[in-house]
Structure 1
Amino acid sequence: MTSKNPVLGTRGDFVTSPEISQVFGEIVGVWLVSQWMNSARAPIRLLELGPGRGTLMQDVLRVLCQFRVVKSAVKEIHLVESSSAMKLAQEKTLQPFAQENNWKLHWHNSVDDIPRCTETYTMILAHEFFDALPFHLLEKTHHGWQEVLITSSDVPLSTLKISKSESLSGSVINVDSPRFKHVLSPSPTAASTLLGLSSNRFQKLAVGSRIEISPAAFKIAYRLGQLVESNSDKSTGCGLVVDYGGEKAYGSSFRAFKNHKIVDVFHRPGECDLTVNVDFAYLKEALSAHATTLGPLSQASFLTRMGIQMRVEALKRGAQSEDRKHEIERGVLRLINLTGMGTQYQVMGFTSSKVGELKPEERWPFVDLENLNTPESPQ
């Protein structure tokens, strides 16, 4: 929330795919263009949730500007952002683009502030947005679902010690005697019972299981489905959700980052990046009420099938030095690394069109290659 506390980049707490390589945003832009070209080609409005410094949107807009007909169709850019500091960074990045092309920039504190508009084609992006939303931690007991809450520790602050240890994921800072601790609620609450029943998948879990559930994520995903919902055969929008997680519920993924290291979630409250894995199956359940979901695919599969290697070769041909060529390669390899970001991150698409009406090329790259006689990437 404050400009003096950098979040992204080398001086911040973590780095995102758009910050690693421009190719990521360019590939996302190509997918959005392909969806629009397969639609009624209506005027375009772009919407991004949690735009960071505006890097992803900038890369996407640069791609859209390469197609004259697409560029002329863009009318508005909507950004959902609650941080004043981030809004200033986004304005600095995107205002030159907007002024040059006479596009209108709008900021919103909530996705609920954005009206439905069936006369425009709405392109939606949510990159590392859902993982930052608040969640409830529930535990299944013989009495039903009960909330895991947080209470203060009895340990005096003066006795707290910080120790460092190594883990497979890098340096981890542990608090030997944290100021807070987890406790189980004495009985089921209205919230725990309601959330425990919010998906049929949760009913099959064994006693003792824990799940991280975000009602905020479900509500927002439901709203995104409404924004692209079509009342006719004409598609009125599409979107991509990119985040780490999978098509399942998680029970112990809650963690914190500080200076690119995993730290205890109770370490320096208010000064660390808090995150939780995204249950994509939960998002799909919310979206499917109004939209068709595609995927999710691993980030590596999405980028590879969308032709990232061809774009890399083009960038290398235009590079001014060998160092720049190596920099391009390193960035892209990091994005598709199968032991890192390539599989940790998932990409899910959604559109207002129905699955039965979509041709294979319209569903690309969210297709089952085993049951489709289609090359690894489109010709």
Structure 2
Amino acid sequence: MKHLCEEIKFKGPISVAEFMRSALTHPLGGYYMKGDVFGIAGDFTTSPEISQVFGELVGIWFITLWKQLGSPKDIQIVEMGPGRGTLMADMLGVNEKCSLCPRKASQADPIHGVHMVDASPGLQEVQAQKLAPNATLDKSTASIRRDDDITVHWHESLETVPEGMCTMFVAHEFFDAMPIFKFKLTKDGWREIVVGLDKSPDSQYHFCFTLADGPTKPSAIIMQYEKFQKNFKEDDRVEVSPDSYAVSNRIARRIQKNGGGALFVDYGRNYTVGDSLRGIRNHKFTDVLSKPGEADLSADVDFSFLRESTHGIAAAHGPITQSTFLRAMGIAPRMNMLLQNADAKTRKELATAFDRLVSPSQMGTVYKVMAITQEGVEVPYPFQDDPLMEKA
């Protein structure tokens, strides 16, 4: 908070994107730089933390895609923003147990390496403990070797992840935390909504949203994009994440060049959203500007924007709802298998987890799933028309 106050005093109001970037990833006080913020003891719970079945089904999807691509001999897996490492641990568990897996057929494991992209040193330690509890993270190489001989590597950004190999990308609740810019359409055109200091004597906050006096670089550059030149009326607001577009575009280019695929799972819409920026602390919503660095900040993902980032480069599939994806991948029979040997307490927990993941009143339709493959590849299962998308 002190850092942001001084910055605004020095150079005036800052973009919402700059505020988010500092609040989430500033090395001295950013929210994600503190370590484990997930689960019941943290501020929010993600799908992989709700049930192991989520990660298992995502793992099966990638194995199915790998077979669809002709079972390439060497692949690498890249996870963007891997949280606690739970999703990757469950995906790699499928690599050991799934009947589709080469290990079950006594073939060489095609996984050449796993690469975790996370800027938080604290979370890297948590992920290492989750993925390789019997080994120690080698900080000089930022890597660790698991009992199954798969080496896991850590990177602060996608730029340092090796190229030249078929790559499977997964990003779960990654794009929602990417910085956004906010804009409002005025009679004089698009104006940026920025963050300034709140000097009101009766205010409980240090910051406030305000409208820029005139055009800013973001409003002059971003809002000239054709997407924002039609179907909007005065006073409409939009949120735009150029960083999300750039990351999705880089992933698409890597897939175009090296082969592979990507799976994005996040909450959002298949169109541009107005006001969705939110703060979450202790599993409750809190004011976005109240305690920077002490609350998670996120916004609905514009999946239509991610699709556009792949245009002419790779093929985008979806989005479809999480409910449709998980049901098609077999969540019901998998849950039934677990129920057969469960006691009463565990059965109740499994039923609750199933409902949270697939019910339209819970996460089922709020969360969407999108895939990217090389152009010309057959549409991967289960990315067909989804009737639930009409209501989502």
Q: State if a TM-score over 0.5 links the two structures.
A: yes
The question of whether the paired residues in 2 share the 8 Å contact of 1:18 and 1:25 is answered with yes
Name the SS for the 1:138 alignment partner. strand
**Alignment partners' CA distance in 2, 1:369 and 1:147:** 35
The aligned counterpart of 2:361 is 339
Q: Residue 222 of structure 1: SS of its match in structure 2? A: helix
- Which one-letter code corresponds to 1:206 in the other structure? K
Residue of structure 2 aligned with 1:227, choices 236, 254, 259 = 254
Residue identity matched to 1:46: I
CA offset at residue 349 of structure 1? 1.0
1:328 equivalenced with 2:350 (yes/no): yes
Structure 1 residue 53 corresponds to structure 2 residue 84? yes
Alignment partner of 2:287 out of 264, 269, 278: 264
Which secondary structure state, in structure 2, belongs to the residue aligned with residue 65 of structure 1?
helix
- 8 A contact 1:116–1:226 mirrored in 2: no
The answer (yes or no) to whether the contact 1:132–1:276 under 8 Å persists in 2 is yes
Find the counterpart in structure 1 of residue 155 from structure 2. Answer: 108
Percent of pairs with identical residues = 35
- Asked whether the 8 Å contact 1:151–1:183 carries over to 2, the reply is yes
The CA deviation at 1:318 is 3.1
Q: Which residue of 28, 31, 34 corresponds with 2:61?
A: 31
Distance verdict in 2 for CA 1:107–1:333, change over 3 Å: same
How far did residue 203 of structure 1 move?
2.9
Residue matched to 1:173: none
Q: CA deviation at 1:342?
A: 0.6
From the superposition, tell whether residues 324 and 251 of structure 1 become closer, same or farther in structure 2 (CA, over 3 Å): same
Contact 2:146–2:152 (8 Å) recurs in 1: no
Q: 1:62-77, aligned counterparts within 5 Å?
A: 62-66=93-97, 67-69=100-102, 72-77=109-114
Offset at 1:328? 1.3
Alignment partner of 1:127 is 2:172 = yes
Give runs of aligned pairs for residues 292-307 of structure 1, distance below 5 A: 292-307=315-330
Tell me the TM-score normalized by structure 2.
Answer: 0.82
Partners of 2:267 and 2:225 in 1: how far apart? Answer: 22
Q: Distance in 2 between matches of 1:280 and 1:207?
A: 24
Note if 1:15 corresponds to 2:54: no
Q: Who is 1:88 aligned against? A: 125
Asked if 1:140 corresponds to 2:185, the answer is yes
How far has the Cα of 1:6 moved from its partner? Answer: 4.0
| Cα deviation code 1:14-60 (max 9, x no counterpart) | 10000000111111111111100011322120000000010000011
Matched residue of 2:230: which SS?
helix
Superposed CA deviations along residues 323-352 of structure 1, whole A, max 9, x for unmatched, are 212211211111011112111111111111
Q: Give the TM-score normalised by structure 1.
A: 0.85
SS in 2 for 1:217: helix
- Residues 267-276 or 70-79, more deviating: 70-79
2:236 aligned to which of 190, 206, 209: 209
Between the aligned partners of 1:116 and 1:100, the Cα distance in structure 2 is 25
Instruction: For 1:195 and 1:363, locate their aligned partners in 2 and report how far apart those are by CA, in whole Å.
Output: 32
- Which residue of structure 2 aligns with residue 375 of structure 1? none
Deviations 1:69-125 (A, max 9, x none): 1671111000110001000000111125942121121111111222432xx321111
CA separation of 1:269/1:113 partners in 2, compared to 1, >3 Å: closer, same or farther? same
Contact 1:299 1:345 in 2 (8 A): yes
Unaligned segments of structure 2, at least 5 residues: 1-30, 135-144, 388-392
Distance in 1 of aligned mates of 2:86 and 2:232: 40
Q: Using the TM superposition, name which of 199-208 and 212-221 deviates more.
A: 199-208
Query: Could you list the per-position Cα deviations for residues 156-215 of structure 1 after superposition, in whole angstroms to 9, with x for gaps in the alignment?
Result: 4xx55xxxxxxxxxxxxxxxx432111111111222121112342553211221111111
SS in 2 for 1:368: coil
Higher alpha-carbon deviation: 272-281 or 61-70: 61-70
CA distance 1:338–1:77, shift in 2 (3 Å): same
Q: CA RMSD in A?
A: 2.0
Say whether residues 1:150 and 2:195 are aligned partners.
Answer: yes
Matched residues, number: 340
1:44 aligns with 2:75: yes
2:34–2:120: 8 Å Cα contact kept in structure 1? no
Distance 1:115 1:205, change over 3 A: farther
Check 1:3–1:281 CA distance in 2 against 1; reply closer, same or farther (3 A cut). closer
Answer yes or no: is the 8 Å Cα contact 2:80–2:172 preserved in 1. Answer: yes
Residue 225 of structure 1: CA displacement?
0.3
Deviates more, 1:197-206 or 1:84-93: 197-206
Corresponding residue SS for 1:77: strand
Identify unmatched segments of 5+ residues in structure 1. 161-176, 371-379
